[in-house]
Amino acid sequence: MVFRLKLILFLVLHFLPKVKSSMVSLNNNGYEDIVIAINPSVPENETLIQSIKEMVTEASTYLFHATERRVYFRNVSILIPVTWESKSEYLMPKQESYDQADVIVADPYLKYGDDPYTLQYGQCGEKGQYIHFTPNFLLTDNMSIYGPRGKVFVHEWAHLRWGVFDEYNVDRPFYISRKNTIEATRCSTHITGMNVVFNECKGGSCITRQCRRDSKTGLYEAKCTFIPNKSQTARDSIMFMQNLNSVTEFCTAKTHNTEAPNLQNKMCNHKSTWDVIKESDDFQNASPMTGTNLPPHPTFSLLKSKHRVVCLVLDKSGSMNTVDHLVSTRLLRMNQAAELYLIQIIEKGSMVGMVTFDSTAEIQNKLTKVINDNTYLKLTANLPKIASGGTSICNGLKAGFQAITYSNLSTFGAEIILLTDGEDDAISSCFEDIKQSGVIIHTIALGPSAAKELETLSNMTGGHRFYANKDINGLIDAFSRISSRSGNISQQALQLESKALNITRREWINGTVPVDSTIGNDTFFVVTWTIRKPEIILQDPKGKLYKTSDFKDDKLNIHSARLRIPDIAETGTWTYSLLNNHPNSQLLTVTMTTRARSPATLPIIATAHMNRNTAHYPSPMIVYARVSQGFLPVLGVNVTAIIETQDGQQVTLELWDNGIGADTVKNDGIYSRYFTDYHGNGRYSLKVHVQARKNTPRLSLRQQPNKALYIPGYVENGKIILNPLRPEVKDDVAESKMEEFSRLTSGGSFTVLGVPPKGNQTHVFPPGKIEDLEAEFKGDHIQLLWTAPGNVLDKGKAKSYNIRISKCFLDLQKDFDNAASVNTSALIPKEAGSKEIFEFKPEHFKIENGTKFYIAIQAINEANLTSEVSNIVQATKFIPPKETSIPALGTNISAISLTVLGLAAFICILN
């Protein structure tokens, strides 16, 4: 069963399309269409562009050698912000945009951290999201700290493109080796250096001393630091210290340190980085280049972003008259959502047009610049009022192209929002025109019969894809997600509330929405209904009331009323009440949107997506949600994913940021969970609701993982030569408390295939692997701690645990089932995510000072499927000596008490 799950996960990672819409391709050993985008907030600086070019050129040669002549960088596009002056050499982007860039250049938000890093939270071998360089890193001489910028770029490229992880660990910088020596967490172990504590630092020099041993753990004290020798002979590893002159390779199976407690070993099951890289799609199709010549230097294109151009292409065919579940026609719901988009979501300064189509198409609005309320009225006045005729999506798209080009603008980089509920067998006939247009198409499939090719349009153009089932909220959520792609977050509309409620006669409903201090500009409160306008009461945090008469009805009879909050919305909790004053039940919806309080205030944002666009039953999917302010993660919030099936069933999942199961790193602001509850085939939609209650949310100021390691100094001729010191985040300010807030966001849609009919589905998923097992002696007993997995991966409750113990590591690693069993009859598994504590006394073993045990655990579910074997831990019976010695690196410490998590490749040693 474990093999089957591994096979499923292998297919997930290697053969299914990913969500990230990177344009990068590998052709004849050369990477093409890499996009490096500069954030609009970065001041204009020609030197920055030159530095980017030099970094990539240097990186290309380094990458070529590091991959044994397999790959290099052929061409790169540098996306210039719209805020910079135009120049004749700047070309027009096609589908390149800031939010889909492979590399972004942006300030770090706080003074802490010019460390280059990669936003990477997928599984082993899965591509990352983007690489982040700060302008300061690119413009300042950081050679002694990070090494040449080209080598740093290759380190980050390995994170981004091949899904490998760092081979150091700032949280566990040392470990006990299988030879019972204290070692720095590194790869390879041939990299040498000194272990010291910095006592006092002034003017670039420090007083140091040798590291002392912690009498409880046997490891070095918390402030001990590994300082590498400047001169090394080791050639690997790029994922440890790419800054060392001798390092030119990735760790291979021969040189990989399987013992080190780093993320590479944890995430990739102790595989070397080179083994993971060789299994990537890139290397399956890239043989080493022959000859001795180096590849040509990369070429660069400078692309200048332009103001946003959007054209709505809306279906008004006969099927849009369909009434779903006695709610309202699809045409009405489309108009309600489109009106909200045009008034509340689209950014001022954008050029907007509109096309409607059935079997033919008509341009309702040529491109119009959004300036004021008159613009909105002009646009919304032409929303379709009647639905009839057939469905020709190609005609609609071609009319969209015409609406754009009528204004002498290029379709390159323009966006089309295509909404349809109909089928059209002829969509493929315009695929080539779409590719040539350079347009980005966002698709919204309304109802279960919408053309299956819609997702192809989004995928080929780098657009978003959405599915809306029966109520207006699905459409509103989709439109609200289609925001600016420029990187200017202060322009983007944010959803605070999106709720649909079926209200009976004369029933009141109440709700609250927190407005935090990062937002409040351009705030709207909107109510829609299906039969009659309800009574509305809205109260701000200071008690000011807005009543029904304050809400403006639309002029198109599309059953919606809107209140724009004057000036900046008050910070605090807003309260609303709605009364259905119609004799019959009706569906009411409530939507609240806003923007950043000011251009100088970075708002808290939430984004969400699935780990891929298509699921083939029975492979699991992973839901991801990122909550951040600027580039800083927001912790301690409740994140709920709502997944809706094609037939309207909903699955609710609480997402976790605990570093367990689907979650890669604890407390990084990425909340995730496995999704396995498939209810039939077809389109599914994802929506995420983030809620932060008082005193629980906090902003993490700690450095991001998956980064180029900051090196404090080097050892030269036996002396430590320090690098410039940087400001560090003190433990007491590493997290700052935040106020209450709420965010909603759509994660788009995904497709599920291969689900058998109800009644034919079998149990295929075992419990999740336990990855955080800890062990230590408590007297003559051993105490174990771990996080409970689920009955199905990370959901539910396992049936039982199987704990095995041995004095030899290999007994557990190679032959777990035949190792000595621990009696767990009194151990009843808790709900997934709970903390488990279990104590036992090793039976049939003689215990004395220095006795060592290795322990591992499996979970078993109700279908008797077993999880993978957990990380293997070591517990040693230790009676501390009266005097504490100070061992040097490599000193034998066989009689030291220790608790080691996740160590592998131990062998039985006779002490």
* C-beta of residue 597 within 8 angstroms of C-beta of residue 519: yes
DSSP 496: E
- Looking at residue 215, its pLDDT comes to 72
Per DSSP (E only), the strands in 630-759 are 632-635, 638-644, 650-655, 670-675, 682-692, 698-700, 713-716, 719-722, 735-737, 741-753
Which residue's structure tokens are 């020709």? 392
Q: Look over the chain and give the mean of its residue pLDDT values, rounded to a whole number.
A: 88
Query: Tens of pLDDT along 655-673?
Result: 999 988 899 889 999 999 9
Query: 759: phi > 0 → left, psi -120 to 50 → alpha, else beta; which?
Result: left
**Least confidently predicted of 158-172, 399-413, 515-529, 808-822:** 808-822
For a pLDDT cut of 90, what percent of the chain falls above it?
A: 65
d(CA 161, CA 391): 40
Strand pairing of 117-119 and 182-184? unpaired
Question: How many alpha carbons fall within 13 Å on the CB side of residue 21?
Answer: 22
Across the range 193-198, mean pLDDT stands at 92
* Neighbouring C-beta atoms of residue 55, cutoff 10 Å: 21
Angle between helices 330-340 and 472-481 (to 10 degrees): 30
- Looking at residue 208, its pLDDT comes to 86
Supply φ then ψ for residue 196, to 5 degrees.
-140, 165
Q: How confident is the model at residue 387 (pLDDT cuts 50, 70, 90)?
A: very high
Query: Tens of pLDDT along 141-162?
Result: 888 899 999 999 999 999 999 9
pLDDT of 478 higher than 90:
yes
Across the range 297-318, mean pLDDT stands at 94
d(CA 758, CA 838): 39
* C-beta of residue 149 within 8 angstroms of C-beta of residue 58: yes
Across the range 181-190, mean pLDDT stands at 92
Across the range 736-760, mean pLDDT stands at 89
Full DSSP string of 159-208: HHHH----S--SSS-EEE-TTS-EEES-S-TT--EEEEEEEEEETTEEEE
Residue 156 among the catalytic residues: yes
pLDDT of 887 higher than 80:
no
Find the angle CA(20)-CA(402)-CA(332) to the nearest 5 degrees. 70
- Looking at residue 382, its pLDDT comes to 93
d(CA 383, CA 479): 15
d(CA 144, CA 151): 12
The closest alpha carbon to 173, from 711, 567, 785, belongs to 711
- Looking at residue 898, its pLDDT comes to 35
Q: How far is CA 443 from CA 333, 484, 750, 852, in A?
A: 16, 16, 12, 60
The closest alpha carbon to 771, from 600, 592, 631, 902, belongs to 902
Is cis: bond before 577, omega within 30 of 0?
no
**Least confidently predicted of 200-204, 554-558, 775-779, 818-822:** 200-204
Strand pairing of 586-596 and 299-304? unpaired
Question: How many alpha carbons fall within 13 Å on the CB side of residue 341?
Answer: 30
d(CA 610, CA 747): 7
Find the angle CA(801)-CA(804)-CA(809) to the nearest 5 degrees. 140
pLDDT of 8 higher than 60:
no
d(CA 72, CA 70): 7
Strand pairing of 30-32 and 614-616? unpaired
For a pLDDT cut of 70, what percent of the chain falls above it?
A: 91
d(CA 867, CA 870): 8
d(CA 373, CA 153): 47
Q: How far is CA 40 from CA 79, 405, 485, in A?
A: 10, 26, 11
Radius of gyration of the chain (CA): 29
- Looking at residue 896, its pLDDT comes to 33
* C-beta of residue 79 within 8 angstroms of C-beta of residue 38: yes
d(CA 62, CA 294): 11
Instruction: Provide the CA 93 distance to its chain's centre, in angstroms.
Output: 25
- Looking at residue 906, its pLDDT comes to 35
- Looking at residue 890, its pLDDT comes to 41
pLDDT of 905 higher than 70:
no
Across the range 487-492, mean pLDDT stands at 85
Query: Tens of pLDDT along 620-631?
Result: 999 999 999 988
* C-beta of residue 457 within 8 angstroms of C-beta of residue 444: no
361: helix, strand or coil: strand
What's the token pair of residue 353?
Answer: 């047009």
pLDDT of 7 higher than 60:
no
Amino acid at 76: V
* C-beta of residue 476 within 8 angstroms of C-beta of residue 469: no
pLDDT of 195 higher than 70:
yes
**Least confidently predicted of 111-125, 540-554, 627-641:** 111-125
Query: Tens of pLDDT along 260-287?
Result: 989 998 889 889 999 999 999 999 888 9
- Looking at residue 202, its pLDDT comes to 66
Which residue's structure tokens are 């959007």? 310
The verdict on pTM exceeding 0.85 is yes
- Looking at residue 111, its pLDDT comes to 58
Q: How far is CA 693 from CA 577, 634, 690, 742, 857, in A?
A: 21, 13, 10, 9, 36
The closest alpha carbon to 57, from 80, 78, 42, 41, belongs to 78
Q: How confident is the model at residue 205 (pLDDT cuts 50, 70, 90)?
A: low
The closest alpha carbon to 592, from 607, 573, 611, 614, belongs to 573
pLDDT of 763 higher than 80:
no
Find the angle CA(607)-CA(608)-CA(610) to the nearest 5 degrees. 155
- Looking at residue 779, its pLDDT comes to 84
DSSP 792: B
* Neighbouring C-beta atoms of residue 216, cutoff 10 Å: 13
pLDDT of 888 higher than 50:
no
* C-beta of residue 239 within 8 angstroms of C-beta of residue 212: no
pLDDT of 390 higher than 80:
yes
Among the listed residues 156, 167, 183, 249, the single catalytic one is 156
Amino acid at 866: T
Supply φ then ψ for residue 752, to 5 degrees.
-115, 130
Full DSSP string of 883-911: S---PPTT---TT---EE-S---------
Strand pairing of 621-629 and 632-635? antiparallel
- Looking at residue 326, its pLDDT comes to 62
